[in-house]
Copies of this chain bind each other. A is one copy, B any other.
Amino acid sequence: MGLIVQKYGGTSVGDLDKIGNVANRIIKTYKAGNDVVVVLSAMSGVTDKLIAMAQKAAEKPDRRELDVLMATGEQTTASLMAMMLIGMGYPAVSLLGHQAEVRTDNAYGNARIVNIGTDRIHQFINGRHIVVIAGFQGAEPNGNITTLGRGGSDTSAAAIAAALQADVCEIYTDVDGIYTADPNICSQARKIEKISYEETLEMASLGAKVLQIRSVEFAKKFNVPVHVRSSFNEEEGTMVMNADAEMERLVVSGVTSDKNEARLTFKKVPDQPGVAAKIFTPLAEASIVVDMIIQTSPTDGHNDITFTVPRGDYERAMAIGEKIVADLGADSIRGKTDIAKVSVIGVGMKNHSGVAAKMFATLAAENINIRLISTSEIRISCVIDEKYAELAVRVLHSAFGLDAE
């Protein structure tokens, strides 16, 4: 028995039947003696439908007003869920973002949670109510409605769990948990039982989009265990928590691939101070996020500078690059969009050497050329040709001993 925050995503509350299934799951947890706080997303598809409507209303919808519109999605599921629970004979109450005192800054569409007042929630919990909170939304200091950006309900749940010092934050979704690789690519992928916050962050930011990065950051900061699991079965999912000795025995916990990047290279840039600033300042001003940056060692006073950007920003980045080629004194700019970034991730890497060498050798054995390399303390990423992405994931998964027995 304890205080459990449960978050259900859009596919889990996609229609009234599914909301009914979720209600039964909530009741089961409640009847076991737990205090239950539920955080809900909008029904799947609803958010997209609202955005489409807004874009018909105005070419560039006002962000404050867009948030007011968006907030109706979670308002609908929260009230329907509370209604259903009450109809089934259990005390429940819905709270919208501002009613649950989810206080944010005023960055409409992508607001950050500043703090959460827990008095009202505690009051209902103490009265043994099931508290159903509309996820994804909050209010800024003037009482204007804000939303937290895509996947913001995960963030709501983690932040509420942290504020309430919940025993666990359960994130219910349409997958069983976090896998060692994407099962659609790698049939040998296995569900991970326990994984550290840090590894989850690396996996999420690298394309295995199970959990929102910000929600993991919240959970990590306040040390709330997050249980990622399916709302369609009763199986245990993946527990995201502080690294323990068991996790660190494994060298690599997972392999990911990300096809959402594109590569640009300035050829023969004079090796002078200030060159990097000339390249990356205009990109930053255009809000283009540069991921990897590699500079070759100089030959005849020139070197090549290569970097990656999100594929959706490729055309804009290329246009900016072409404008500054002459100014840089570079020879030319070239680009390539059919690339993929494959990564191996594991907290165990900290204590093991040879992971990079093994990764490079494994790829080389399949004649896969490595175009770019970047590393963090618990991750090694290689950019390769897109066509090899799936093969690379499979051979790395096998090489690092992750294949199912």
- Partner-B contacts on A (CB < 8 A): 16, 19, 53-54, 56-62, 64-66, 68-69, 71-72, 75-76, 78-80, 82-84, 86-88, 93-94, 96, 98-99, 143-145
Contacts and interface: CB of A to CB of B under 8 A. Distances in A.
Contact of A16 (B56, B71, B75, B83): B56
Contacts of A66: 79, 83
Give the number of times this chain occurs in the complex, counting copies.
2
A80 B62 contact: no
Nearest to A69: B79
A144 B93 CA distance: 10
* Closest 8 pairs (CB-CB, A-B): A58-B87, A68-B79, A69-B79, A72-B72, A65-B83, A62-B86, A65-B82, A65-B79
Contacts of A19: 57
A98 B88 CA distance: 30
A94 B80 contact: no
A84 to B, nearest CB: 5
A69 B69 CA distance: 14
Contacts of A80: 53-54, 57, 65, 69
Contact of A75 (B57, B68, B82): B68
A367 to B, nearest CB: 54
A71 B75 contact: yes
Contacts of A64: 93
A83 B62 contact: yes
B61 A83 contact: yes
A60 B64 CA distance: 35
Given A66-B79, A93-B64, A84 B57 contact: yes
Contact of A62 (B56, B78, B87): B87
Most chain-B Cβ atoms within 10 A of its Cβ — which of A53, A62, A65, A143?
A: A65
A296 B248 CA distance: 95
A299 B57 CA distance: 71
A68 B78 contact: yes
A58 B83 CA distance: 6
A87 B59 contact: yes
Nearest to A143: B99
Given A57-B19, A86-B58, A72 B76 contact: yes
A4 to B, nearest CB: 22
A96 B145 CA distance: 10
A117 to B, nearest CB: 12
B82 A16 contact: no
Nearest to A77: B69
A280 to B, nearest CB: 34
Contacts of A75: 68-69, 71-72, 75
Contacts of A83: 54, 57-58, 61-62, 65-66, 69
A145 to B, nearest CB: 8
Contacts of A76: 69, 72
B72 A60 contact: no
A51 to B, nearest CB: 12
B53 A65 contact: no
Contacts of A93: 64-65
Contacts of A56: 16
Nearest to A81: B57
Contacts of A69: 75-76, 79-80, 83
A54 B60 CA distance: 33
A75 B134 CA distance: 15
A291 to B, nearest CB: 33
A84 B58 contact: yes
A66 B88 CA distance: 15
Contact of A94 (B59, B65, B88): B65
Nearest to A67: B79
Contacts of A68: 75, 78-79, 82, 94, 96
